[in-house]
Amino acid sequence: MQFVDTHSHLFLEEFDTDREETVRRAVSEGVDKILLPNVDSATIDPMMDLVKSFPDHCLPMMGLHPTSVDKNYLQQLEIVSDWLQKEKFYAIGEIGIDLYWDKTYLAEQQQAFLKQLELSKHYKLPVVIHTRNSFPEVFELMDKENDSSLNGVFHSFTGNIEDARKVIGYGFKIGVGGILTFKNSGLDKVLAEIDLQHVVLETDSPYLAPVPRRGKRNESAYIPHIARKLAEIHSVSLEKVAAITTQNAYDLFQIKN
């Protein structure tokens, strides 16, 4: 049984004391591929170092996270563009709009999002979209920009069934993480109505650890907890969830064995 963690920040400082062991724990739990979404220019080197240490398991993305967007975002995007020209990446990400912490740079976040969608189309790479308190704003831009050349995933999905159907209508996947296991998230009711062919699994490590690890540091080895909850919701075997979501991830990110 094999899993893919489609979104994990294992290069962050939370893993500085046991990074190698964390990757090996994930692999021992069947999580054979771990996709690493970049944050900003400061995280590129540690991310690429991790990829070099585990080239068979850790796969990098390149992008500018919305919470790192400020008035100097164009300089950050130049760095993103330079890296895309010289290394192999599996997605543009993570990108999007975040209005939870600060709305100061909404206009810049919107422009950064649009420019990175352009990069996605140019390099024929999927996009990994962050939508914290920002579904309407992201949907407004996606309605204008989405076409057959664009695909990807709405990561750490927390929307309602209408939001989920909108995502699927774009031809995108729904990224499901630890929030699914939270008692009052309501996400279980949404996912019960969504076919597994539209879902990929993720942890968003070190954040949002699933039950029974909630409140602890999250890591890629906890993917099976999320998969078991999804299997329970759909009344199918864990093996079926693993097979379908893994194939979805392989197809979306063009991963080769």
For domain 3-253, give the fold.
TIM Barrel (3.20.20)
CA separation for the pair 148, 157 (Å, rounded)? 22
Share of the chain above pLDDT 70, in %: 100
Average pLDDT, the chain: 97
Q: Write the pLDDT tens digit of every residue in 205-230.
A: 999 999 999 999 999 999 999 999 99
CA separation for the pair 154, 169 (Å, rounded)? 12
Domain residue ranges in the chain: 3-253
Share of the chain above pLDDT 90, in %: 98
Q: Write the pLDDT tens digit of every residue in 110-140.
A: 999 999 999 999 999 999 999 999 999 999 9
Q: Write the pLDDT tens digit of every residue in 13-69.
A: 999 999 999 999 999 999 999 999 999 999 999 999 999 999 999 999 999 999 999
Residue 122 has what pLDDT? 97
Q: Write the pLDDT tens digit of every residue in 172-206.
A: 999 999 999 999 999 999 999 999 999 999 999 99
Q: What count of other Cβ atoms lies within 10 Å of the Cβ of residue 241? A: 25
pTM of the model: 0.98
Q: Please report which residue ranges of the chain form alpha helices under DSSP H.
A: 19-28, 41-53, 73-86, 106-123, 135-145, 161-169, 187-191, 223-234, 238-253
Residue 60 has what pLDDT? 98
Residue 257 has what pLDDT? 73
Q: How confident is the model at residue 101 (pLDDT cuts 50, 70, 90)?
A: confident
Instruction: Please spell the DSSP secondary structure of 108-150, one letter per residue.
Output: HHHHHHHHHHHHHHHHT--EEEEEET-HHHHHHHHHHH--TT-
